[in-house]
């Protein structure tokens, strides 16, 4: 048995994620084919990752149970995702309660300062945005107005302040079907806040952006990385068909590193040249399928880890 997570001295640490096994907010507790936490932790450990993202709070366990599971697998906690209605003040109190819960989970497993998990904040969007992923860059009516942006910035300030008061530096995750999806919306978010950016290479493509340009433009603000490869033909087909986020996942928009259309090597060079330091979380978002081989996701994540290992990560 592994005694506990090793000390991390490299500037970039590599983590896996439950979403790469089909375990995330839209499947856990809903889809009967979601794998159990133990098998996901076993696969991530076997592939040689330094850590793992939390997934939906409670999925990997909480408190002492989570700490024991991570320690026994030699894994650090890389971060945890939470979507919050930043531009809707009336809904923020409940979201702040959920953020307190997330940070409480972080407290239960916190290790050395160099490997503290990142609170990964995202916007919850709206009904209109949830119906139109990938289309806001062509439809300005879907974006926040001036008052909405002011409310948004105040909401982010409140949430980020709470994270910092609890000893965690947060990051902001731009996300498909949210108010922070397009490059222009990301730019405005960065202008109005002081929070770091979680660059998600897959969601950026859905929003009409280019990851290499993103690193060039925002490298100094990127403090967390969700690395995905994408099949552009799938993203274009789903967007043209006015699909939902579930359709991107269902149709396999995200694939193993090197199997898609992104210049992953170029992105890695750029992020290093930008001086990035922190967690690189490999994500291959997918929905569980009953007809998939039981070890398909585990094999993909082992391939992804080896892909990065031969590139010095």
pTM over 0.85: yes
CA atoms within 13 A on the CB side of 24: 22
pLDDT exceeds cutoff 50 at 180 = yes
pLDDT, one tens digit per residue, over 152-169 is 999 999 999 999 999 999
Domain ranges of the chain: 12-309
Angle at 172 between CA 169 and CA 110, to 5 degrees: 35
Whose tokens are 């910035």? That residue is 153
Residue 129 has pLDDT above 70, yes or no: yes
pLDDT of residue 294: 74
Comparing 129-143, 256-270, 285-299, the range with the smallest average pLDDT is 285-299
Q: Are strands 254-255 and 229-230 parallel, antiparallel or unpaired?
A: antiparallel
**Residues 137-163, mean pLDDT to the nearest whole number:** 96
Q: What is the pLDDT of residue 111?
A: 58
CA distances from 70 to 57, 172, 225, 230 (A): 14, 25, 21, 29
- Give per-residue pLDDT as tens, 211-247: 999 999 999 999 999 999 999 999 999 999 999 999 9
Grade residue 2 by pLDDT with cuts at 50, 70 and 90: very low
CATH class held by domain 12-309: alpha beta
Average pLDDT (13-23) is 97
Q: What is the pLDDT of residue 112?
A: 45
Beta strands in the chain (DSSP E): 12-16, 51-53, 76-84, 118-123, 171-173, 196-200, 222-227, 229-230, 254-255, 278-282
């Amino acid at each position: 048995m592994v005694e506990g997570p090793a000390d991390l001295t490299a500037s970039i640490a590599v983590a896996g994620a439950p979403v790469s096994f089909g375990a995330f907010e839209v499947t856990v507790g809903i889809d009967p084919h979601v794998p159990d936490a133990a098998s996901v932790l076993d696969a991530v450990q076997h592939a040689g990752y330094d850590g793992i993202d939390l997934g939906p709070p409670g999925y990997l366990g909480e408190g002492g149970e989570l700490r024991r599971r991570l320690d026994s697998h030699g894994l650090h906690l890389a971060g945890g995702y939470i979507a919050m209605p930043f531009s809707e003040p009336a809904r923020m109190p409940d979201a702040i309660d959920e953020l307190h819960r997330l940070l409480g989970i972080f407290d239960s497993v916190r290790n050395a300062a160099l490997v503290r998990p990142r609170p990964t904040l995202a916007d919850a969007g709206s009904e209109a945005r949830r119906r139109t992923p990938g289309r806001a860059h062509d439809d300005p009516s879907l974006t926040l107005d001036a008052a909405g942006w002011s409310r948004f910035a105040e909401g982010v300030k409140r949430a980020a302040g709470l994270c910092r008061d609890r000893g965690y530096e947060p990051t902001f995750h731009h996300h498909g079907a949210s108010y922070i999806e397009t490059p222009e919306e990301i730019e405005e978010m960065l202008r109005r806040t002081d929070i770091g950016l979680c660059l998600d290479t897959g969601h950026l493509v859905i929003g009409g952006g280019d990851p290499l340009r993103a690193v060039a433009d925002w490298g100094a603000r990127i403090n967390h990385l969700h690395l995905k490869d994408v099949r552009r033909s799938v993203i274009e087909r789903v967007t043209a068909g006015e699909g939902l986020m579930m359709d991107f996942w269902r149709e396999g928009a995200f694939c193993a590193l090197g199997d898609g259309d992104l210049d992953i090597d170029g992105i890695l060079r750029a992020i290093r040249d930008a001086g990035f330091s922190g967690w690189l979380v490999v994500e291959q978002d997918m929905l569980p399928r009953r007809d998939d081989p039981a070890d398909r996701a585990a094999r993909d994540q082992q391939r992804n880890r080896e892909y990065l290992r031969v590139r010095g990560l």
